[in-house]
Amino acid sequence: MKDGVTVYKEKVVLIKDGRMSVVTEKTEVADGLVIDQTTVTKNGQKVTLTEGQILTFDGNLIEAPKEVQDRAAATGQGAVTEKP
């Protein structure tokens, strides 16, 4: 499983080393990628993830593996970025 950030049941979830954990505090996980309980920002822009997407630590949006997709909840209109 690729390391990155996704959304599960409207919570931001960190995927690292094959483990998923709910984010409970604001954390910078990679250069310019900051996550907290409800938002993901990359270089100051808010990123909205939908079911089936992972934002990798290098800033790419990829399709989530089946095991992540099975657990993900729909949360928005797509990979739309907007100023926070």
- Work out how many domains the chain is built from and give that number: 1
Q: Both ends of the chain: CA-CA distance in Å?
A: 29
**pLDDT, tens digit (0-9, with 9 covering 90-100), for 46-55:** 988 876 788 9
Measured from the Cβ of residue 69, the count of other Cβ atoms closer than 10 Å reads: 14
Of 31 and 82, the one with more pLDDT: 31
Domain, as residue range, for 17: 4-82
Q: State the average pLDDT for the chain.
A: 75
- In Å, how far are 44, 46, 52, 78 from 84, measured between CA atoms? 7, 5, 23, 16
Of 69 and 76, the one with more pLDDT: 69
